[in-house]
Structure formats: C-alpha cells, structure tokens
Amino acid sequence: MPSSLDSLNRWVDDVARLTEPAEIHWCNGSDGESRLLNERMLANGDLIALNAQTHPGCTLHRSSPTDVARVEHLTFICTQNRDDAGPNNNWMDPVDAHAKIDALFAGCMRGRTLYVIPYCMGPIDSPISRCGVEITDSPYVVANMRIMTRMGAAALTRIEREGKFVKGLHSTGELDPDKRFIMHFPEELTIKSIGSGYGGNALLGKKCHALRIGSWQARSEGWLAEHMLIVGIENPAGETRYIAAAFPSACGKTNLAMLIPPEGYRKAGWKVWTVGDDICWMTPGKDGRLWAINPEAGYFGVAPGTDTTTNPNALAMIQRDTIYTNVGVTADNQPWWEGLSEGEPVKDWRGREFDDAQGPAAHPNARFTVSARQCPSWSPMAEAADGVPISAIVFGGRRPSLVPLVFEAKDWAHGVLVGAAMGSETTAAATGAVGVLRRDSMAMKPFCGYNFADYFAHWLSFDQPGAKLPKIFHVNWFRKGSDGKFLWPGFGENLRVLEWILGRCEGTSDAVESPVGFVPGVNDLKLDGLALSAAARQELLEVDMHGWRAELADIARYLDSFGSRLPQRLKDEQRAIAAALESAVESTPVARRANGG
C-alpha cells in the first residue's frame, strides 16, 4: 500500500529537480538540529550573537536593505476565475503565474541546502489545526518557523495520518526586487514565494498559509481564519471569558493582547491571559458557540515602540532566546530600537555606525521572533485542542472623530457590516494628508485569499438557527478632543471597556440604543480614578447623527465597489441603518435605554 507521504516525497523530488540544491535536509524540529543550524548561521554571518549576559540565546539578523517588509504589490491570488480573487486582491492566471515564478525557481538553489519543513498551524492534536510543508533554502526561515509553528516530526506524523497539507515553496533567490513574487494558488492549496527572505514573504506558515490560504480553506470547510488577537479576561470570581479582536496596523493590537490591568483592577483580582496576538481560527462547536485557536506558536512582533510603558509583557519576553531582525545595537551588543527608554545605539540596522542624520537605528519594521510561552501573560489554553469559546468579537480602528469609544452591534448581520466598514484615518506625520479614511474590512484587506464580497457572505452564513454567536463590538481608542489630544488614556485602561463588553455579553451592563448600535451611557462604564472631565466623558460616547449619516453614505459606496457578488443582506443592513439615521436627524428623539443584554 502506498504511503500517504508519497505525494510529499514526489513533490520534494520535483522541487529538487527544478531548483537543483546541493543537498536536501528534512527538518525534525529537535534541539540538536536547532543548535547546529544556529552555529552554522553564526559562523557564516547570517546571525550575529548578542550580549549573552543581558540577552542569553538572542541573535540578530540583518536583511537586505531592499527586503524589509511585506510586498503587497507583488503578492498575488491565482484563481482560475478572476472574480474569485476579487477587487481586494492582485490576480494572476494560475498557468501564467506558475510559468513566471517557476522560471525564477529554475536552478535557484545551486550550492545551497534545500530544507523541508513539516509544520502544524495550531496545537498538534487540535481538530481545528491544519498542516503544511514549506520548502526553503533559508536557514533563517527554518529557525523562525521552528518558533512560529509546531514544526518537525510530530507535524510530519500528522501529515502522514491525514494525507493533506498546504504546499509552500520558498527561495531567497537573488534578493532582487525585480525578481520577487509571492503567489498563492488557493484551489491547489499551494504557495510560491521567491526573491525575499523577510518575514511574511518567507515564513509561509504566517500570513500566506494562516490567512490567505487559510481563509479559502475556512470558507470551503465552514470556519473562519481571521487577523485577530485572542485574549482571556479573568474576573475576580475566577471566571475567564475570551475575546477575539481585529485592528489595522498601528491600532494597539499586540498591546491589547498582552494588556496589564490597571492597579485597582489588579488588586481586585482581575487577570489578563494572552492566547494569541495576530491570528485566530474559529469554528462552530457542538454547543453552537465559536471556538478559537491561535494557529501560531510564537510572536513575530514589531520592535520599535516596545518598552516598559507601552507593552511591558512583550519587553519581558524578548530578553532571552529571541531572534531579532533589523534592530540597532549598543556598544555592549544589546539590541536597541526607537522607543526604548534605556541604552544608546552605536550601529544601525544595516550594520553602519549610527548617525541619526542617516535615519533611525532600527528599521521602523524591525522585528522580534519569540516563543509565545515566554510571554508573562501566556495562557496554557493556547494549547487546548478544542480551543477557547469566544464571547465577543471586537473591531477597531484609528478614528480621531465620529466613532464612539465603544458600541455594540444590534445583531450578527449588523456586526458583519461594522466589521466590513471598519477603517482608520491617516495622520499628516504618516502620509502627508489628514483625515484620509482607509477602509480595511475586518483588518483583512491584505490577507483575505478571495473576493471580499464572498467573504462577507461567508461571515453572514454563520447566523443559523441554534447558533450561539459572539456579540460584536467596535472600539475606538483614538478619538480626540478639540485640542487635538486623545480623550481616552488607552493601554491598561482599555480593560474598563472590555469589562463593559463582557457585561453586555452576560446581560449585566446597561447601554443606550442609537441608530448605529448600543452605546454605554456616561454612568455605564467604570471610570472612577480616571482624570476625565464630564465633557470628555460625554464626547467619548457621543453619536453625531449628521456625521454618521455621511459615514453610512460612504459605506454604501464602499460596498458598491464589490459589485453584484455583495450579499443583499449586507446592503439591506446598511440601508436600514441609514434610514434610522435619517429619521433620527429629522425627529431628534430621546435615546432609549437598553438595559442588561
């Protein structure tokens, strides 16, 4: 009887014939293998040892200056039907895409080692997890995949048992930006990436598998693959409720995942548990609830801005056994980046003598790769085979005006619209233009592996008889007052908002009903101890009917951009809220209390 690994062996042989490596190494994920690989990289300069006294087991990798971030314009979804990829993705015909990228793969591994990396996204024994195999010629990728996934022999055993896996082929190639592509073939469960050694372009288990291919798998199999953190909130009674939350970049996602409660909350017995900081796979359980796992085993986090004031848990976990990428270094060889309160850089991320006239010491997208277990707030439930039950789904963006601190969607369809319409406004410092709204549905715009209109329909499909779906909320930590300063203190104080959210899920928090959703009244949030004026509290929770009327019109235009595939139910939801706003503007009714749940 042929082994279920025969297809894997044939694929490895086919890739070897195409790429012509000097040797082939099947990764087993062992400590010995990892030590040997690190020794080789330290010897050839792929890794640089950092200060062993202050940062034991930590190393630094410097990527090519032209290879420092994801390349969305070179990232393609390759489906037979262009409309299946949708207007939210770059598309290429699969036949043309294979031909184009295979020509670049031809002979690209001559003189190099081909590494075969079997891996599992999620706990090795979880029915929610899915497996993949990445072939690469980068030992740096191997080292990172060992941290970020359950990599090695156990994953190979599961692949042999299931006979199904996502194929990922990667080569750094010539690190030539003109010969760089990241191709996804969702109908074939295949990824091909060449020309980059950086992060999401090269660690194919991350965005490529866990989101772009994962979202396609999720739609066909009846679950959700989302760009969300998972955090557990334990109350003084010892009860833990789990929240999944999606935010675009620069909106505090990792900080929320690793939140440290304010002192008063800590003394009262509140605790916060980190299950995941970036990706969430959710599937309906037998009880009708959505159960979630973090498919990753590590964090690939942004270093600049991480410090004791912004994210002390993150800073604590990266003091040992961490791979740093593109940070600066101090005179005594400690890692350094902008935002650290201690130390002074002497070399920048390129390895040059530091001169602030040449730019920052650390690249703005400098990263750390670290095991999730090193986080002080890591939850053992991250390894639970069945996952954790999700009580609330939270969307959020950076909106200096209009959007209240928090509001609750009225039902699942309304919540899907809230997620579809979410976005952030740009700032002059970042873009040269103020108040430009960029919509990023469910924070998935760069990562959804198929047509957004079909994606919205998939979300709506979970609203079935017997389903006990999470309540959906929207938060906005970034509303500003007339003086241009943030009204809300953020960081650990966000737990006050999460407490209200969980109270709404449990029927113990009150709210005011408005056309855009349920908003807490000024006395419904626990704001004791905060230096917030009565006017600031009112402004944080204000619903500007005229402003929201314009917002709903803009949402309608955005939804229309997805054409005839857009679900009618989502259009109807938008029109119903727009009509309610029109009525509210005309009659200015007194808001109604929405007590409990």
What is the spatial distance between Cα 527 and Cα 487, in angstroms, rounded to a whole number?
Answer: 13
Looking at the fold, whether 530 and 559 belong to one and the same domain comes out as yes
pLDDT at residue 429 is higher than 90: no
Nearest to 386 by CA among 311, 282, 264: 282
Report if residue 58 sits inside a domain: no
pLDDT at 586: 85
The answer to whether position 17 is within a domain reads yes
Q: Do 310 and 273 fall into the same domain?
A: no
CATH code at position 362: 2.170.8.10
pLDDT at 186 over 60: yes
Assess if residue 53 is contained within a domain: no
402 and 511 together in one domain: yes
Three-class HEC string of 222-254: CCEEECCEEEEEECCCCCEEEEEEECCCCCCHH
pTM over 0.75: yes
Question: Is residue 15 exposed (0-12), middle (13-18) or buried (19+ Cβ within 10 Å)?
Answer: buried
Q: Can 251 be counted among the known catalytic residues? A: yes
Q: How confident is the model at residue 69 (pLDDT cuts 50, 70, 90)?
A: confident
Residue 61, domain member (yes or no): no
Domain co-membership, 355 together with 268: no
pLDDT tens track for 510-528: 999 999 999 999 999 999 9
Query: How much is the pLDDT for 595?
Result: 54
| Full residue range of the structural domain in which residue 522 is found | 229-295+382-594
pLDDT in tens, 317-358: 999 999 999 999 999 999 999 999 999 999 999 999 999 999
Q: Which of 168, 203, 222 is the last residue of a domain?
A: 222
Place of tokens 């032209």: 66
Q: What band does 436 get if pLDDT is binned at 50, 70 and 90?
A: confident
Rounded Cα gap, residues 111 and 19, in angstroms: 10
DSSP annotation string for 8-62: HHHHHHHHHHHH--SEEEE----HHHHHHHHHHHHHHTSSEE--TTTSTT-EEE-
Is 441 inside a domain boundary? yes
pLDDT at 432: 46
Give the chain's domain count: 3
Give pLDDT tens digits for 492-506. Answer: 999 999 999 999 999
Same structural domain, 481 and 519:
yes
Neighbours of 170 (CB within 10 A): 27
Q: SS3 for 287?
A: coil
Which one of the listed residues 27, 58, 108, 251 is annotated catalytic? 251
Same domain as 165, residue 43: yes
- Per-residue tokens: 290: 């959505």
**Per the domain annotation, does 118 fall within a domain?**
yes
For residue 435, the model assigns a pLDDT of: 64
Same domain, 97 and 238: no
Looking at the fold, whether 333 and 401 belong to one and the same domain comes out as: no
**Bridge partners of residue 244, in order along the sequence:** 230, 393
Looking at the structure, do residues 513 and 501 belong to the same domain, yes or no? yes
Output the domain CATH number for residue 479: 3.90.228.20
| 176 HSE (CA, 13 A, CB side) | 7
Cα 554 to its chain centre, rounded Å, is 26
Task: Show which of 374, 405, 437 is a domain's final residue.
Answer: 374
Do 120 and 269 sit in the same domain of this protein? no
Which of 222, 257, 283 terminates a domain? The answer is 222
Q: Are residues 215 and 288 in the same domain?
A: no
Tens digits of per-residue pLDDT, 252-286? 899 999 999 999 999 999 999 999 999 999 999 99
CB atoms within 10 A of CB 546: 10
Domain-located, residue 60 = no
Tell me how far apart the terminal alpha carbons of the chain are, to the nearest angstrom.
58
254 and 343 belong to one structural domain = no
Is residue 586 domain-resident? yes
